[in-house]
């Protein structure tokens, strides 16, 4: 983004795990930040009987605290982005943002598979949020840069003998005139959950709006995010970020860190030979900023960047944490319909070229999350650690 005047950034989903630290980071960089969120994540906690381990404050309290500490104001708009394209278009007209960061989706693969209702909700919420953002941008004519949080999972997790490129795959399409002709196509999608499928469908929407309406779009294919706090959220307990540890919302590293803090065996699903891509929260926030500062030009195809630090097997993650905390490793029947073993290699070349130096799990800054979990261990609901048994609805557990 050019630097002549303060930039304005809308953060859709700015009340969530990745969105909240991103909103603070953008505000700290001197940009005008507006959070747009329907608080659905907080409402789903009420539905399932789950909760962030850290006591997160209301959006109003968080923002008052931020203003008092930093002298900066962040506006908050409660809006269901998937339901109201006119209201979203009105926000774009009002704020004329230089960029919109789009985190506002249902992001749990297990949640997306709980029932037919949850499957449908995930598809409708995620697709309509993305469609409404694209349509509102087109309608408003505001030349904003859309930065979307996608997923490494769009590439699939069946072992392949090539490194996942950044969105596009070069293929040979021979014809009689051009026997060796090469073209680039979107890498084939191979989702492993309804949630991941929604990210694949988002990608198709982006491809259309970039090509047909010249919208400037970056799609960040992000790995599993771990960690709890960033430099800014740790300034006050009232700014604390959410820490999900239950079997529906907790992602694998953070679950293992909470388990280590409680001396609970680490719940490796299956034999732990699933390989996934990972990134620390602070790195994720910094990469979003790098993407914002390096937008595609109007008319460019969607800029895909892989937002990952490293690929590890689940058992590798458990071993790092077990070796340094003494936690036992347990092997739990895998509740997910996924391949028991896969290899995975993902390039992060475009962020490396912009100066990104990844934080690796073995460097140990994860101890901060163990300390947080130890501090709040009395609030852990032990019934939420193991995955639900087949046919059992998570929300029905006592």
Q: Which residues bind ligand NAD (CB under 6 A)?
A: 13, 15-19, 37-41, 80-82, 103-107, 125, 129, 149, 151, 222, 224-225, 251
Residue 103 contact, options ligand USQ, ligand NAD, none, Cβ 5-8 Å cut-off depending on partner type: ligand NAD
Question: In this chain, which residue has its C-beta nearest to ligand USQ?
Answer: 153
Count CB-CB contacts under 10 A for residue 125: 21
Cα separations in angstroms, 202 against 150, 189, 348: 8, 11, 21
Q: How far is it, in rounded angstroms, from Cα 97 to Cα 35?
A: 12
Q: Which of 24, 101, 152, 258 binds ligand USQ (CB under 6 A)?
A: 152
Nearer to ligand USQ, 144 or 267 (CB): 267
Strands, E assignment, 94-181: 99-102, 145-151, 168-172
Reading the block at residue 162, the tokens are 């090539």
Per CB under 6 A, contacts with ligand USQ among 196-235 are 223-224
Listed ranges 38-46, 181-189, 273-281, 286-294: which one lies at the site for ligand USQ (CB under 6 A): 273-281
130 in helix, strand or coil?
helix
Contact status: 88 vs ligand USQ (CB under 6 A): no
Which residue, 18 or 100, has its beta carbon nearer to ligand NAD? 18
Q: What are phi and psi of 71, to 5 degrees?
A: 75, 10
| Residue 81 binds which of ligand NAD, ligand USQ, none (CB < 5-8 A, kind-dependent) | ligand NAD
CB of 277 to ligand USQ, least distance (A): 5
Q: Which of 233, 251, 289, 325 binds ligand USQ (CB under 6 A)?
A: 251
Residue 109 binding ligand USQ, by CB under 6 A: yes
Residue partners of 398: CB distance under 8 A and separation at least 6:
383
Distance between CA atoms of residues 66 and 298, nearest Å: 35
HSE-up (13 A, CA, CB side) for residue 222? 25
| Radius of gyration of the chain from its Cα atoms, rounded to whole angstroms | 21
Residues that bind ligand USQ (CB under 6 A): 107-109, 151-153, 223-224, 251-252, 255, 267-269, 274, 276-277, 314, 334, 336, 338
């Amino acid at each position: 983004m050019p630097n002549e005047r303060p930039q304005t950034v809308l953060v859709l989903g700015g009340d969530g795990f990745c969105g909240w630290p991103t909103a603070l980071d953008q505000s700290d960089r001197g940009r005008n930040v507006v959070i747009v969120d329907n608080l659905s994540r907080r409402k789903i906690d009420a539905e399932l009987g789950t909760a962030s381990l850290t006591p997160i404050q209301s959006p109003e309290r968080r923002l008052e605290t931020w203003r008092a500490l930093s002298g900066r104001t962040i506006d908050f708009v409660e809006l269901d982005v998937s339901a109201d394209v006119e209201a979203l278009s009105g926000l774009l007209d009002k704020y004329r943002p230089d960029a919109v960061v789009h985190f506002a989706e249902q992001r749990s693969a297990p949640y997306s598979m709980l029932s037919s209702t949850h499957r449908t909700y995930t598809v409708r919420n995620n697709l309509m949020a993305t469609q409404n953002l694209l349509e509102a941008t087109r309608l408003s004519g505001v030349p904003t840069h859309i930065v979307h949080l996608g997923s490494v999972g769009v590439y699939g997790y069946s072992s392949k003998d090539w490194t996942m490129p950044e969105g596009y795959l070069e293929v040979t399409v021979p014809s009689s005139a051009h026997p060796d002709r090469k073209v680039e196509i979107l890498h084939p999608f191979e989702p492993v959950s309804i949630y991941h499928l929604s990210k694949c469908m988002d990608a198709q929407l982006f491809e259309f709006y970039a090509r047909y309406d010249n919208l400037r779009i970056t799609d960040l294919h992000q790995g599993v995010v771990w960690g709890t706090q960033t430099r800014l959220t740790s300034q006050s307990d009232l700014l604390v970020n959410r820490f999900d540890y239950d079997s529906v919302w907790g992602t694998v590293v953070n679950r293992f860190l909470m388990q280590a803090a409680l001396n609970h065996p680490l719940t490796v699903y299956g034999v732990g030979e699933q390989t996934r891509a990972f990134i620390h929260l602070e790195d994720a926030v910094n990469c979003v900023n790098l993407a914002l500062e390096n937008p595609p030009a109007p008319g460019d195809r969607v800029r895909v960047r892989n937002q990952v630090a490293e690929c590890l097997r689940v058992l590798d993650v458990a071993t790092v944490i077990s070796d340094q905390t003494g936690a036992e490793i347990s092997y739990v029947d895998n509740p997910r319909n996924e391949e028991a073993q896969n290899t995975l290699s993902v390039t992060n070349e475009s962020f490396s070229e912009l100066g990104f130096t990844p934080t690796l799990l073995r460097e140990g800054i994860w101890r901060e999350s163990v300390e947080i979990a130890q501090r709040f261990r009395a609030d852990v609901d032990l019934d939420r650690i193991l995955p639900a048994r087949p046919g059992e609805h998570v929300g029905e557990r006592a």
